[in-house]
Structure 1
Amino acid sequence: MKTALQKLRRVLNTKLGFFLLVVLLFCLKSYWAYQNEFNLGVKGSMQQFLLAFNTIPSALVFLGIALYFRGRLSYWIMLIINAALSTWLFANILYYREFSDFITFNVIKGSGAASNNLGKSLMGILRPEDFLVYLDVVILALILLFHFVRVDMRRFKVRYAMTITALGFVLFGVNLGMAESDRSQLLTRTFDNNYIVKYLGLEAYTVYDGVKTTNNSVVKARANRDELKPVLHFIHSNYAAPNVEYYGKAKGKNIFIIHLESLQQFMIDYKEDGQEVMPNLNKLYHANDTLAFDNFFHQVGQGKTADAETMLENSLFGLPEGSAMVTDGTTNTFQSAPALLHQKLGYTTASFHGDVPSFWNRDNAYKSFGYQYFFSKEYYPKTKDYDAGYGMKDKIFMKESAHYIEQLPQPFYAKLITVTNHYPYILDKKNKDIEAWKTGDDTVDPYIQTARYLDESLGEFLDYLDKTGLRQNSVLVLYGDHYGISNNHQPAIAQILGKKKVTNYDLAMFQKVPFMINMPGLKGGINHTYGGEIDVLPTLEDLLGISSKNYIQFGQDLLSPENKQIVPFRNGDWVTPKYTKYNGDYYYTKNGKQITHQTAAQRKEIGKIQKYVTTDLGLSDKVVNGDLLRFYKLPGFKKVDKKQYTYNLKKSLKNLQKQQKKQKTSLKSENNNQSTFDDYTTDAPELKDYPKLNFPKP
């Protein structure tokens, strides 16, 4: 034993020996993280081997940089590089835990636009074992500091250092070849970052993402109108004509888009100890004049809420990395719902959000979308304890938004973004009306409490619409923007769903979110059409009597009998009424039975669906990345001039005053210029000490 230890020390006393130790520990750490911190869907001996093997090439290349330096400096450079790579791994572990994806350069670029309150989220995500990624760095530093190994002061020959670097690249080539044999066209036809990390490793993925991000910038600079030809061919070939029974039924009505933060479909009719968790939403969902869709899925990527907004108002998918609203919202040309409704039907357009205007770059993207007004946090009175997590508490936000809603000239398009049901589900005791779950997962358990609070907020808002008469002349469009409980909480999900264990099919179905359209006189009912957020805008346009036949939109009217019912997920997975593909597994959608051996006919049918999904996502990305809408002249539509819009508090309120005087169709004007604000009743305890709220004045 003593002899073996002496031999080991002699090896470690050489620079190459110490380098190999650093590489070994780094690879073991990376493999541990891949297995335990990420859900990469590794299957079979080949993928298990690649998961371990792919840690080696990048370790040799990056840590090998230190071998080009002399003496003690090379040792410390080794540790610094290791610490830097460990920090990147650490950051991705935290990011993945919440977003089920890896950090991209576009995410970093847009981090300032979505950083508000992230500190609170991180504290909820962080676990003590996360710091194990630094354990090898600490051990190696102690080995050097306490002279357990002797620093080899000899110069490491450059040709040997270059050999190690070259070996790293050769091994990467071998890695890529084996990966391609298991997953063809890995780097050219994948929408899922999990695949890149699973096959090539985190460092290779980061380099790949950097190259792709740079390439996208070049793509935009080189884009031309000819690139619209395949886009237009695909859209025209897959256009779904409107349902004559519903076409134009909502013409001239006010439109309320109510954004139900992080709300999932399973919460509809969900009971805890025999008690309805969301009675107000349930009542609306089952109303005779509500079209409720029970097979509606979120389709967001890394942009989450921003992706949902992008799809909802543009029928364009979010990007495979980052957020289109952040990276392209300021500069791209859009033909969005607010601009379309304002130009074609004379709608007043406004968005309401109780947080800072820069969140997700909304203060710029909304101008590109054509929003006349953006009522952000600064427009609302500040009261005690009015804020929670990612903005104003929903009850306060919804009530105070009524102050501006009653001033909007009708017809109007108003989007209200709730936030209280956002991770980490912060809510003070005085606002909790239901007990938390007891799954043992502290991240998941309070979700039921903020969902109940959201429902109560919605109930108060609907009461106000009924009292003032606005409900009679309005369409309510309610949707959940994305999951609230990520796939990283599978034991808790199983408990909530009453299962022993969840499959990939269960996780696919868990991506359903509520979507409903309510309007007095509308022929409602539960609609079983399979669809997603990309389909909302064409559906709404047909209800309003606007033909979207010539628009560049990648969704289809959910009410159309010609709807294909193919729901693409952002990573290239999909759901149809017959088949479901999720995390590499295939299932029969009706019963959840896994398809382990496909027949020739099934392979052909599934291949056709996959081709549609890949083309749909790819062409949408081309439109966004190339800013192709700048080349498309939409008949009867004038390109949005962002200079015409201002969200400056005083200027915006003055513009609203002028518009009210000019049009005189607002609720307040119809009520003899008397406010209806006191008709809004809320039990928000924070407002009891504020009998009169002081709103900003122009």
Structure 2
Amino acid sequence: MNFLFGADLWRSRLGVMLLVTWLSLMWYVVDWCAFTTFRAMSDWMLYVSNILAAMLLTLPFLLSRRMWLQIAVVVLTDALLVANIMYCRTYFTDIPLESFALAGNLSDFTASIYSSLNILDIGFVVILVVGVVWAGRVVPDKAHRRVMRYMSCTALLAVIFGCGLMTRGGFYKEYDRLKESCYFSTCGSPTYTFAGHVAYSLMDCSRNSSAEMAPAVEAWLADHKSLMPSPGLPDSIRPRKNLVIILCESLESWLIGKEIDGKPITPFLNSLVADSTTLFAPDMLTQVGPGRSIDCQLMITAGLLPMNGSVYSMKFPQSTYLTLNKALREDRGTRSTILTCDKPITWNQEVISRSFGYDTLIDRRAWVIDELVGNPGKLSDGSFFRQAVDKLKSGEIWPEGEPGMLTFVTYSGHNPFRLPDALKDPDFDVSGSKLTPPVLDYITINHYVDSQLRTIVDYLRSRSDWDETLVVITGDHEGLASWRSEIRSSSPAAAELVDERQLTPFIVLNSPVGGRHDGIVGQIDMYPTLLDLLGLNDYEWRGLGQSILAPDYHATAISSMTLQHLGDTTALSPELLDHLRKARGVSDAIIRYDLLNE
């Protein structure tokens, strides 16, 4: 550096601004890796790319000599990097590009945003403040004597960076390798900066055409029928006619059957899973991606996995989706309704509901907002279910005796898990336990959710068509996110209570096939299982999973967020394991290129 720029570089404002910019980028690497993995920091390309990025970002100061301009560049860069880190702490991935269009929805999730901040994030502020003070004390640079040297050094770094990428097969191939690696899936952004994530996302969107992808997808689907067959139930088992799905926000499996100070956390769910007519799979791996809640709807309703780095409901809401709704309507003329206490624009719910085949969306506008939970407050699960039952009793939705499908999307279990004192159960005071507030709040809110489920389940049981109705209760995704390891390490009691795995329960009430299904289940397997239980074996789309009722169910699942494999993979053939690993790419292609549109 001294040879290129002179020995006084670090006593100049240019040197200070360059150093501040580079340190900010490197602090992003440290902050990101502290939550994910430090494997990225062993790659020499990380240092080349971040130095190159710092030099490019310092060009505004080099060319203008305006310190305020460089400060603005660093502040904007820091804000973007911190936002990406906060997103990763919850969703285990970089921010999808289309999610920037959802910035207007952030006001509904301010508490969740604040809870994603970490003490390490202060480092960005410290670096900037110290740098500005330091730069203000040095003598302003004279003329533009370093411009040519600076440009030459930047060009040299760009050549080194380009050669490094060429030895790895090019940028797209290298970044894609990281994204699909079990151990390096989160290393792309720190290694190639956030700009690398943006470039990869844009390249991935335009990488292939439907004509190129269709043969590979067709081949995978053909193999799927033989590798993961779902033959359906015997004719002697009477399927159900109606379907009710209750998606409980952030509900995890370990809550069921557990006690705190001798008090059951979920007494109502405990009673439901103990019923002989209930099908209960406690170990269902969360497989949601960047879309979180809306990804769960994709898997259970349409039998497709989340996209790679994109949110299907935002980017491809008009693609063709073959769903349970459409199968039920085709077979028995069923009308379907989805009920949510959220706004219709949240995750583009209104548009994607139509694409899934729902006849009616009942959203925030239809409810009396008389009881709030969360920050900012939204309709409580208790009021949500009470008002929904009133609409059902009046015949406004699903008149008794007619074929129907309902989907409830709840909210009360959402982070930050704060329940108003007025709604707390006085007989479930666990404040005296030795557990830390995050998990205590989570337990308290789910005890409340459990108690409110009784309202809707008791009503459904009272209907004359109960014997023909299948009721599914499941969590849309895991709830503890980045708190999990911290909670488990806080005490032996917490480690014993909280499962280290990201599992949510799959509970099917009034199932024609009851019993407990032990072993790993994937969220993608809910769709074919429900086809079986509803007697829809002849429907044209069987999904990308396998019915858990199949005689040779594989009992293995892969996380969409961490790429972790759960289950006994050693019992699988290499061909089947490779088939499972390719499933998400197949799903991405099906959605992206509308391959179900025939």
TM-score tier by shorter-chain length is 0.7 to 0.9
Tell me which residue corresponds to 1:540.
Answer: 530
What percent identity do the matched residue pairs reach?
21
- The one-character-per-residue Cα deviations of 1:464-489 (angstroms, maximum 9, x if unpaired) are 23344453331111111111111443
Distance 1:154 1:279 in 2: 75
Tell me which residue corresponds to 1:614.
Answer: 581
CA positional deviation for 1:343: 2.0
Tell me which residue corresponds to 2:548.
Answer: 558
Tell me which residue corresponds to 1:393.
Answer: 380
501 and 446 in structure 1: CA distance in 2 versus 1, 3 angstrom threshold: closer
| 2:471 aligned with 1:482 | no
192 and 383 in structure 1: CA distance in 2 versus 1, 3 angstrom threshold: farther
| 1:239-258 equivalence runs, <5 A | 239-245=228-234, 249-252=238-241, 254-258=242-246
Tell me which residue corresponds to 1:527.
Answer: 517
| 2:267 aligned with 1:287 | no
CA positional deviation for 1:64: 3.2
Secondary structure in 2 aligned to 1:63? helix
Q: Pick from 28, 36, 41: which aligns with 1:39?
A: 36
CA positional deviation for 1:248: 5.9
Q: Pick from 445, 454, 457: which aligns with 1:459?
A: 454
| 2:502 aligned with 1:514 | no
| Higher mean displacement: 451-460 or 74-83 | 74-83
458 and 623 in structure 1: CA distance in 2 versus 1, 3 angstrom threshold: same
- The one-character-per-residue Cα deviations of 1:198-222 (angstroms, maximum 9, x if unpaired) are 3662653543443433542564677
| Higher mean displacement: 533-542 or 75-84 | 75-84
- The one-character-per-residue Cα deviations of 1:592-621 (angstroms, maximum 9, x if unpaired) are xxxxxxxxxx6x968545422221111111
| 1:274-353 equivalence runs, <5 A | 274-329=262-317, 331-353=318-340
Distance 1:404 1:21 in 2: 63
State the AA in 2 paired with 1:491.
Answer: E
Tell me which residue corresponds to 2:74.
Answer: 82
The answer on whether the counterparts of 1:531 and 1:565 sit within 8 Å (CA) in structure 2 is yes
Long gaps (5+) in structure 1? 1-7, 580-601, 633-698
CA positional deviation for 1:378: 1.2
CA positional deviation for 1:494: 4.2
Distance 2:70 2:182 in 1: 28
Distance 2:16 2:214 in 1: 57
Q: Pick from 412, 421, 424: which aligns with 1:420?
A: 412
Tell me which residue corresponds to 2:352.
Answer: 365
Tell me which residue corresponds to 1:172.
Answer: 161
Secondary structure in 2 aligned to 1:449? helix
State the AA in 2 paired with 1:118.
Answer: F
140 and 576 in structure 1: CA distance in 2 versus 1, 3 angstrom threshold: closer
Q: Pick from 124, 127, 137: which aligns with 2:115?
A: 124
Secondary structure in 2 aligned to 1:303? coil
CA positional deviation for 1:289: 0.6
Tell me which residue corresponds to 2:443.
Answer: 448
The answer on whether the counterparts of 1:72 and 1:151 sit within 8 Å (CA) in structure 2 is no
Tell me which residue corresponds to 1:25.
Answer: 23
State TM-score, norm by structure 1. Answer: 0.75
Distance 1:477 1:379 in 2: 24
The answer on whether the counterparts of 2:55 and 2:154 sit within 8 Å (CA) in structure 1 is no
Q: Pick from 125, 130, 134: which aligns with 1:139?
A: 130
Distance 1:111 1:606 in 2: 45
Distance 2:435 2:337 in 1: 41
Tell me which residue corresponds to 2:3.
Answer: none
Q: Pick from 224, 227, 231: which aligns with 1:238?
A: 227
419 and 246 in structure 1: CA distance in 2 versus 1, 3 angstrom threshold: farther
157 and 500 in structure 1: CA distance in 2 versus 1, 3 angstrom threshold: same
CA positional deviation for 1:116: 5.2
628 and 188 in structure 1: CA distance in 2 versus 1, 3 angstrom threshold: farther
| 1:541-620 equivalence runs, <5 A | 541-547=531-537, 550-551=540-541, 553-571=543-561, 573-579=563-569, 608=575, 610-620=577-587
| Higher mean displacement: 395-404 or 320-329 | 320-329
CA positional deviation for 1:383: 2.3
Tell me which residue corresponds to 1:694.
Answer: none
212 and 548 in structure 1: CA distance in 2 versus 1, 3 angstrom threshold: farther
The answer on whether the counterparts of 1:425 and 1:450 sit within 8 Å (CA) in structure 2 is yes
Distance 1:326 1:346 in 2: 29
Distance 2:573 2:221 in 1: 24
CA positional deviation for 1:91: 1.1
Secondary structure in 2 aligned to 1:629? coil
The answer on whether the counterparts of 1:191 and 1:572 sit within 8 Å (CA) in structure 2 is no
The answer on whether the counterparts of 2:284 and 2:505 sit within 8 Å (CA) in structure 1 is yes
Q: Pick from 149, 155, 179: which aligns with 1:160?
A: 149
The answer on whether the counterparts of 1:30 and 1:55 sit within 8 Å (CA) in structure 2 is no
Distance 1:173 1:569 in 2: 33
Distance 1:388 1:161 in 2: 49
Distance 1:115 1:500 in 2: 33
Tell me which residue corresponds to 2:391.
Answer: 404
| Higher mean displacement: 285-294 or 237-246 | 237-246
| 2:89 aligned with 1:101 | no
- The one-character-per-residue Cα deviations of 1:414-442 (angstroms, maximum 9, x if unpaired) are 11112101111121101112335666754
Distance 2:566 2:550 in 1: 16
Long gaps (5+) in structure 2? 1-5
| 2:252 aligned with 1:264 | yes
- The one-character-per-residue Cα deviations of 1:220-278 (angstroms, maximum 9, x if unpaired) are 677785565324323333341335347862242x2111112111110110100011010
CA positional deviation for 1:362: 0.6
Distance 2:376 2:60 in 1: 48
State the AA in 1 paired with 2:30.
Answer: W
Q: How many positions carry a matched residue from both structures?
A: 583
Distance 1:616 1:133 in 2: 39
| 1:1-16 equivalence runs, <5 A | 10-14=8-12
Distance 1:548 1:436 in 2: 50
State TM-score, norm by structure 2. Answer: 0.87
Distance 1:205 1:545 in 2: 48
| Higher mean displacement: 56-65 or 287-296 | 56-65
Distance 2:253 2:184 in 1: 28
The higher relative CO (CA closer than 8 Å, separation ≥ 6) is in 2
- The one-character-per-residue Cα deviations of 1:504-525 (angstroms, maximum 9, x if unpaired) are xx63xx21111011117x3421
The answer on whether the counterparts of 1:120 and 1:424 sit within 8 Å (CA) in structure 2 is yes
State the AA in 2 paired with 1:164.
Answer: C
Root mean square deviation, CA, Å:
3.4
State the AA in 2 paired with 1:362.
Answer: Q
Tell me which residue corresponds to 2:429.
Answer: 435
Q: Which has the larger radius of gyration?
A: 1
State the AA in 2 paired with 1:570.
Answer: S
- The one-character-per-residue Cα deviations of 1:146-171 (angstroms, maximum 9, x if unpaired) are xx211212214554233222233345
458 and 389 in structure 1: CA distance in 2 versus 1, 3 angstrom threshold: farther
State the AA in 2 paired with 1:555.
Answer: G
Distance 1:519 1:621 in 2: 34
Distance 2:211 2:486 in 1: 48
473 and 486 in structure 1: CA distance in 2 versus 1, 3 angstrom threshold: same
